[in-house]
Amino acid sequence: MEIKPGKVYLVGAGPGDVELLTLKAVRALRESDVALIDDLVNREVLQFLRPGARVIEVGKRGGCKSTPQAFIERQMVKLAQEGHIVSRIKGGDPFVFGRGGEEVETLLAAGIAVEVVSGITAGIGAPAAMGIPVTHRDCSRGVTLVTGHARTGAGDGDGPNWEALAQSGTTLVIYMGMKNLPDIATRLVAGGLASTTPVAVIQNGTLANEQRLVSTLATAARDAVASGIGSPAIVVVGDVVRYGRSSMITMPLLKSA
């Protein structure tokens, strides 16, 4: 009997809060009979899978033992070739530091149908949850989403050019930057940002165990250690942080001109 071709959905599960899933994500999950789920995804999303669906853990967390990316891609190809409808469930958005681009390339090269289901990336959703607009006409007319570390062997030197980013005039939203935060802050100040520039550090954004810290470039790394905030966390750098709502915020709100 001929095997019916399968399909892969790359599903963005959002920053954590299950209510931030899109309707399209829920539909994709309901169609799937196999799900490959990342470590950081809220397990509440699994309630939307069809009854009896198989769940495969493919955790990837910085600093810990992770499922090799090549293995994940081989699994998706194999399962789809067997005729399965597969959801590859990722935190945030598949195309924002989610390796979605790599996975689409692999699937298309193998002749597998693939559909990307966008999700709310943590760099937008987590700041929004504490009232921080990543853009604001009074103080930031752009936002830069940037990784805090370089891919090993990528040939991109020391990673992002923080001195240049300091001159960009945009809000900086840094993913995977906690380990290198002391160096990042030093280089941003060297690039021209004031040491008093507001910084927000948000761990487990939008979840019940979310932790928030508001500080400055001069003290954010030290304050994060003192408060116990670690990875995974989003770091927001810029005057927009002053608009945030948190019991820990002591900076005055900016006033419109």
The total of other beta-carbon atoms located within 10 Å of residue 180's CB is 20
Residue tagged active-site, from 24, 39, 78, 176: 176
Active-site annotation holds for 38: yes
Strand partners, 114: 8
Q: Is the dihedral of CA 201, 160, 60, 102 positive or negative?
A: positive
pLDDT at 256: 33
DSSP state of 21: -
Predicted confidence (pLDDT) per residue in 87-109, tens digit: 999 999 999 999 999 999 999 99
2-24 pLDDT, tens digit per residue, is: 456 799 999 999 999 999 999 99
pLDDT 10s digits, 29-47: 999 999 999 999 999 999 9
Q: In the block, which residue shows the tokens 């994709």? A: 28
4 counts as catalytic: no
Mean pLDDT of 186-199: 97
> What is the model's pLDDT at position 63?
52
Q: Which of 38, 90, 130, 178 is catalytic?
A: 38
Rounded to an integer, the average pLDDT of 120-124 is 97
Kindly report, residue by residue over 126-135, the tens digit of the pLDDT.
999 999 999 9
Tell me: pLDDT of 252 over 60. no
Name the catalytic one among 60, 76, 90, 93. 60
Query: Taking each helix axis from N to C terminus, what angle separates 181-190 and 220-227, rounded to the nearest 10 degrees?
Result: 160
How does strand 198-203 pair with strand 211-216?
A: antiparallel
Q: Is pLDDT of 78 > 80?
A: yes
Residue predicted with more confidence, 190 or 253: 190
CATH of domain 122-243: 3.30.950.10
The whole-number average pLDDT for the span 49-56 is 96
**Nearest alpha carbon to residue 87 among 34, 47, 26:** 34
Question: Is residue 130 flagged as an active site residue?
Answer: no
Segments making up each domain of the chain, as ranges: 7-117, 122-243
Span 7-117 CATH architecture? 3-Layer(aba) Sandwich (3.40)
